[in-house]
Structure 1
């Protein structure tokens, strides 16, 4: 019976979001309340559980996501992202242009949300395609693949960080495992996939994007841009290496864990970017702070959706559903990694939102981690991979890709939806492989 109520709750979530177009945050809070009461909680206890879930989730994520948005905005508005992309294109040349785009997507994508990175890099895609006379998708698919992979697998993006927080996983280890999986995944979903998309060569309207194009003297140097952009992953990777190689009593490890924690890594990165991309470039502090304020306001709804997922998770725990699921899985032969991936994939296909799908899945499968001794970092990546599968008409990213590249719905499914599915399946394969090795 407890599981049936959860299934009905998820069905209600789908109905609210798909049929009635209710906002994801409102839907999650309403479903959490309904499921809690249906599971036997009194209304006051259900409300208290929701509040605790929102509070515990945002207490660890609000700063990370806020700092991440600010950092990405500084990278974009300073011209650093454009400098990185231009320099890589010039360095790699036309024959290796796809690898330059992939690398650009990785460097830019790890510092900002998918939609921001996409809109930022799409003018570059058009410029390269026109200059080299190559098909749009030949350039655009590798860029989109790199951005999507960083969004799904690599902290400090909101999805991986939020899931890792719920699972109690090490952010640093999630980043290291994520990079191992991301490299082969983006190669297959990007440059390899484009070999099968040659028939979809369309010219799209360049009026669709409005992005400032910086003059040469307005942009920071390439070295300064790259060094600033990769501060967060460097700090997190440093922490991961120290965690693996040094004893727990080592002062170096303690320092690494401090500066490599997601919150401190992003905070340090913002301080660095304020100086390297702001003050050193002659910008006034008022202008820099205005940029940061605009970035913070842009992620309000993402924060609320993540908080709603945390509320649903807490209700499932407090109502006893978590223990019930764990008891069912005792002695089961089903891998918790596969189960997490499958649940997230089903929700993604139904809801469209990768973030909502991942957060809902995290609440459902959380009890499996202690009962099955699954690796929490790999559970994060399995959930993230499942939440990316086959983006279609209920996903805003689907329509963004379709319109920018001038494709039909069928062509978008053959390119974008296929790209996302490859990332999802490759992610699952990578997780299972790492689990066998570990």
Structure 2
């Protein structure tokens, strides 16, 4: 098949998938599945070959990432139910003070809090962010909004257990432990430098409160605040079901239920914050130790078993569940677990279908064409990977989807470029951050929950995360000197 035909098929299908998602509002899982089937049929795999390749790609990806996603989502759901996020932000404010708290929140959101869904994190932490903002000066709202956007999106794309990072690792065959270690090396300075750049720019006049902020009108308990369920009035997105609970509203049973919930929340608040997060932190430490042993090629069977990501995060789930059982009681524990499994459903499907798309592309000749093009290019392959992912993100509007798609398409090329696959994965994740705009759910959540106008959100979210994307690219280029 001529080269131009292969390129045209993939290009047309990707454009069609983008149109289905953005314009026709087709669910990304269905759109990606249609795209994978179309590429397989039109590239000569045949009907049976296309189905078999898609099934193999789906299975291989889920074998790599399925358990990690399940355990991560469950830990996040349990921490959410215990009010751990709100307490953490309050503690960071007391510890670091107003000027230091954006950096502390940013690093926390981008690293070990990646088990929490972005939607949930924004809803829970937004009321506290609005209280912190006035203490940061006239540009406080912009600084806090940029902090949220930069840290949450950077963590998703580059830091395990962020969904995008897990998908990238699965697509490129990168050990999860190594993705966690090198992702951490890139993420922390990226978040700090990006927040610092945006803070300086906003205080220098880039942020104009009169035009970039707007009054929040909600039905919560406080103006612009969240109600007892962590929802901000009628505007709370339905996707944050894990942040809410169902309590009867009439009769004596309702009073007893409300009292019981209040008592459970009091019990959770009596537990030290470090205790609530200890199982999750232990899991991440075990994964990091396991990765270091792999890099050093050291033999330590017991530690390698405990440090395998699936086992380490399972330990985190068990530990967090035991704490939640004491703090919340059996009923609330079971409810949190049910919410966690429900929320994980679409992530499972998206991850698997992304693997199916990657497998179909790898089975064709596109990998050889990309290898020849990237190898002959005068530009650094890392930069081209970043540009490729950035273009996908501008078109699709989803960090996770564009990072996963870029990694899947580039997977056949990785071994031929003479680069460590971790560099390709991190470059794809960094590029997928570029130019978050109005097709992103995060954009609208931060715009509404933090009291920004659309113009303000374009500054704090679109510009802020684009700055982080460029800084992350620089960090990956520096890392390439070492790896």
1:300 Cα shift? 1.6
Q: Which runs of 5+ in 1 are unaligned?
A: none
2:161 to 156, 163, 167: 156
Higher mean C-alpha deviation, range 385-394 or range 255-264: 255-264
1:200 Cα shift? 3.7
1:297 Cα shift? 0.5
The SS at the match of 1:233 is helix
1:126 aligns with 2:138: no
1:130 Cα shift? 6.0
Deviations 1:348-395 (A, max 9, x none): 000101122112112211122111121111211111111111101111
Q: Which runs of 5+ in 2 are unaligned?
A: 231-261
- Equivalent position of 1:294 in the other structure: 339
1:308 Cα shift? 1.9
- Equivalent position of 1:259 in the other structure: 306
- Equivalent position of 1:113 in the other structure: 117
- Equivalent position of 1:278 in the other structure: 324
- Equivalent position of 1:423 in the other structure: 468
- 2: CA distance between counterparts of 1:376 and 1:333? 20
1:241 aligns with 2:245: no
1:60 aligns with 2:106: no
The SS at the match of 1:407 is coil
Q: Contact between 1:107 and 1:230, CA under 8 Å: does it hold in 2?
A: no
- 2: CA distance between counterparts of 1:312 and 1:79? 38
1:212 Cα shift? 4.0
Alignment TM-score, normalising by the size of structure 1: 0.91
2:150 to 136, 145, 148: 145
Deviations 1:100-135 (A, max 9, x none): 433443466233232222222112212333678873
Higher mean C-alpha deviation, range 346-355 or range 142-151: 142-151
Deviations 1:314-368 (A, max 9, x none): 1112233334433554555443322221111101000101122112112211122
Q: Contact between 2:371 and 2:413, CA under 8 Å: does it hold in 1?
A: yes
- 2: CA distance between counterparts of 1:348 and 1:357? 5
The 1:29/1:372 distance shift into structure 2, 3 A limit, reads same
Higher mean C-alpha deviation, range 98-107 or range 142-151: 98-107
The SS at the match of 1:65 is helix
Alignment TM-score, normalising by the size of structure 2: 0.83
The 1:7/1:94 distance shift into structure 2, 3 A limit, reads closer
The 1:229/1:80 distance shift into structure 2, 3 A limit, reads farther
The 1:285/1:80 distance shift into structure 2, 3 A limit, reads same
- 2: CA distance between counterparts of 1:211 and 1:188? 35
The 1:346/1:225 distance shift into structure 2, 3 A limit, reads same
The 1:371/1:138 distance shift into structure 2, 3 A limit, reads closer
The 1:286/1:50 distance shift into structure 2, 3 A limit, reads same
1:436 Cα shift? 1.6
* Count of aligned pairs: 432
The SS at the match of 2:416 is helix
1:233 Cα shift? 2.0
2:411 to 353, 359, 366: 366
Q: Contact between 1:75 and 1:81, CA under 8 Å: does it hold in 2?
A: yes
Let me know the Cα RMSD of the aligned residues.
2.4
- Equivalent position of 1:353 in the other structure: 398
- 2: CA distance between counterparts of 1:173 and 1:344? 21
- Equivalent position of 2:141 in the other structure: 136
